[in-house]
């Protein structure tokens, strides 16, 4: 599995686990008094804790997603409680249920796609106004014209598509379909844990609604799980902001520090630096410099031999080989150095079109200019006299300076600087 596939799987994994847990709990027939009481208060508890968490991080989109789910839960829970207590549904049950089936996917999709781009207070007012307007219209329709509205909602508009499998009104199916397609497109263009949580959450609600009056605690469990998915997506993105470098996509300095505390007794650390990067930046501009850093990061992320690359800072990268020796790691570092040196970077023209496909075609044309970069690498193996990974990393950094002094574009091990210099002389000859 590629790193990109693994990363995207990590986006969906927490939400999928919550969805599976919710499905499993919903089908349990005999629940103890403890779990019965827990499920009754769980949605409110999740909203309070998850909403406070989103408010602290100023994530208003996620907050209103939770509120939307909770409003639907509250309206439907009132109906299911009456049904369990009296053995029959309320007179307005059909209208409320059909309105929820129609408006829940609509509002959920709107808030999921609504990016936070304006002033926080204005954004909050705008989102609250949408929720209030839609809720007021739905309430007015339910109170004034329940039978006429029910007939309109329940009308079979596409007889060819109607079948026994349809448990909801027909209008809700295109609403869910549009929501699935738009949220899937959003994740495709912006793969983020939150966008994955929104997509899985919509799937959970699509399963939940037909089971609302059939399985006892389906509503409580699935609404709680969907709100937990959203909170987990916020937490996942907060973790990524702290531990993953945004420019290159590699784990960052903090992730490296944590990894070094769990390396054991045998390991190799390598420090890599892009040669003449400042001069390259001054010549071609910071946009091209960022392009170079992303390229180097993408190549280092594919280093073989069990190595893991990290963005150390600036144009420096670190590579960790856990449980390896110096002799085992040197060929893999030499291989990745050669790959980077032999790769021609197609420069983006200033008038590059916004469309990525057209941009790739233009770069592939004869008029596209290209440059190449090299990296110097210093390597150090943990020795008996070195008490901490920080000391080994310092030795790798010193070896990196030795590689710079040996002519750059080479791999030099700590205490073996002459080897690197000889290799460069032979390559030059």
Distances (CA, A) of 110 to 60, 103, 234: 13, 10, 18
C-beta atoms surrounding 429 within 10 Å: 5
Q: Give me the half-sphere count of Cα atoms (radius 13 Å) on the Cβ side of residue 422.
A: 5
Q: Which residues have a Cβ under 8 Å from the Cβ of 425 and sit 6 or more positions away? A: 407
Name the residue among 359, 360, 372 with its Cα closest to residue 299.
Answer: 372
Q: Which helix (H) or strand (E) holds 413?
A: strand 411-413
Structure tokens at 67: 């509120």
Q: Which of 315, 334, 338, 391 is catalytic?
A: 315
204 and 186 in contact (C-beta within 8 Å)?
Answer: no
Provide the β-strand partners of residue 309.
319
Strands (E), 275-426: 307-313, 316-322, 345-346, 370-371, 375-381, 411-413
Known catalytic membership, residue 91:
no
Provide the β-strand partners of residue 28.
none
CB burial class (10 A; 0-12, 13-18, 19+) of residue 114? middle
Q: How many helices (H) and strands (E) does the chain have?
A: 16, 7
Place of tokens 């509205």: 149
57: helix, strand or coil? coil
Residue 304 CA to residue 301 CA, distance in Å, equals 9
Angle, helix 146-154 to helix 120-144, in steps of 10 degrees? 100
Structure tokens at 107: 């509002």
DSSP 319-345: EEEET--HHHHHHHHHHHHHHHHTPPE
Provide the β-strand partners of residue 371.
345
Place of tokens 């946009």: 287
Catalytic center residues:
315
């Amino acid at each position: 599995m590629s790193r990109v596939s693994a990363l995207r799987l990590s986006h969906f994994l927490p939400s999928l686990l919550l969805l599976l847990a919710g499905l499993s709990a919903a089908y349990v027939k005999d629940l103890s008094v403890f779990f019965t009481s827990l499920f009754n208060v769980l949605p409110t508890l999740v909203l309070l804790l998850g909403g406070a968490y989103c408010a602290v991080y100023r994530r208003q989109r996620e907050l209103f997603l939770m509120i939307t789910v909770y409003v639907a839960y509250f309206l439907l829970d009132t109906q299911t409680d009456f049904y369990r207590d009296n053995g029959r549904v309320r007179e307005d049950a059909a209208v409320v249920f059909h309105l929820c089936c129609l408006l829940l996917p609509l509002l959920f999709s709107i808030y999921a796609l609504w990016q936070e781009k304006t002033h926080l207070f204005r954004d909050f007012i705008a989102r609250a106004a949408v929720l209030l307007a839609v809720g007021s219209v739905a309430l007015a329709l339910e109170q004034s014209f329940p039978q006429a509205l029910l007939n309109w909602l329940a009308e079979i508009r596409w007889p060819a598509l109607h079948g026994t499998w349809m448990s909801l009104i027909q209008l809700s199916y295109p609403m869910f379909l549009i929501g699935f397609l738009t949220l899937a497109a959003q994740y495709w263009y912006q793969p983020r844990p939150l966008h994955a949580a929104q997509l899985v959450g919509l799937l959970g609600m699509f399963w939940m609604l037909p089971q609302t009056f059939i399985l006892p605690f389906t509503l409580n469990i699935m609404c709680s799980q969907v709100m937990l998915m959203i909170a987990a997506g916020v937490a996942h993105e907060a973790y990524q902001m702290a531990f993953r470098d945004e420019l290159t996509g590699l784990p960052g300095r903090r992730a490296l520090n944590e990894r070094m505390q769990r390396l054991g007794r045998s390991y190799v650390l390598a420090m890599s630096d892009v040669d003449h990067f400042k001069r390259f930046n001054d010549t071609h501009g910071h946009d091209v410099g960022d392009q170079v850093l992303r390229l180097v990061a993408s190549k280092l992320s594919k280093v073989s031999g069990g190595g893991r690359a990290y963005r150390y800072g600036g144009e420096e990268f670190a590579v960790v080989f856990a449980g390896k020796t110096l002799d085992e790691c040197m060929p893999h570092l030499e291989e990745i150095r050669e790959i980077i040196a032999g790769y021609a970077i197609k420069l983006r023209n200033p008038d590059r079109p916004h469309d990525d496909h057209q941009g790739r075609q233009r770069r592939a044309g004869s008029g596209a200019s290209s440059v190449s970069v090299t990296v110097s690498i210093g390597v150090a193996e943990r020795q008996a006299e070195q008490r901490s990974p920080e000391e080994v990393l310092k030795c790798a950094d010193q070896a990196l300076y030795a590689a710079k002094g040996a002519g750059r574009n080479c791999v030099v091990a700590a205490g073996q600087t002459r080897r690197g210099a000889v290799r460069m002389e032979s390559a030059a000859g």
